[in-house]
Chain A
Amino acid sequence: MLPEKDLLILKHLRSNARKTLTSISKETSIPTSTVFDKLRVHEKGIIKKYTSIIDFPKLGYSIRTKIMLETKNKDALLKFLLTSPYMNSLYQISGQFDLMADCIFRDMRELYSFLEELEKLDVSKKEIHHVINEIRREDFLSV
Chain B
Amino acid sequence: MFQKKDLLILSELRQNARETLTKMSKHTGIPISTIFDKIKYYQGDIIKRHTTLIDFSKLGFNARANIMVKVDRGAREEARKFLLNHHNVNSVYKVSNGFDFLIEGIFRNVKDAEDFVDVLGGKFKLEQTQVYYVVEDVKKEAFMNDSHLLDMVIQNAV
Whether A51 and B17, one on each chain, are in contact in the complex, defined by CB atoms closer than 8 angstroms, is: yes
Residue-wise interface mask of B (141-158) relative to A, using a CB-CB cutoff of 8 A (1 in contact, 0 not):
111111001101100110
Q: Report whether over half of chain B's contact residues are helix, strand or loop; otherwise say mixed.
A: mixed
Pick the contact of B132: A56, A86, A88, A94 (CB < 8 A): A94
> In the complex, which residue of chain B has the Cβ closest to the Cβ of A135?
B92
Interface residues of A, count at CB 8 A? 64
Whether A106 and B156, one on each chain, are in contact in the complex, defined by CB atoms closer than 8 angstroms, is: yes
14 interchain pairs, CB-CB under 8 A:
A7-B59, A17-B18, A49-B140, A50-B18, A58-B46, A81-B138, A88-B143, A89-B142, A93-B132, A95-B133, A128-B97, A136-B83, A136-B84, A139-B90
Residues of A within 8 A of B (CB): 1-2, 7, 10, 13-18, 45-56, 58-60, 66, 68, 78, 81-95, 97, 99-100, 104, 106, 127-142
Residues of B within 8 A of A (CB): 1-2, 7, 10, 13-18, 45-56, 58-60, 66, 68, 80, 83-84, 87-99, 101-102, 106, 130-146, 149-150, 152-153, 156-157
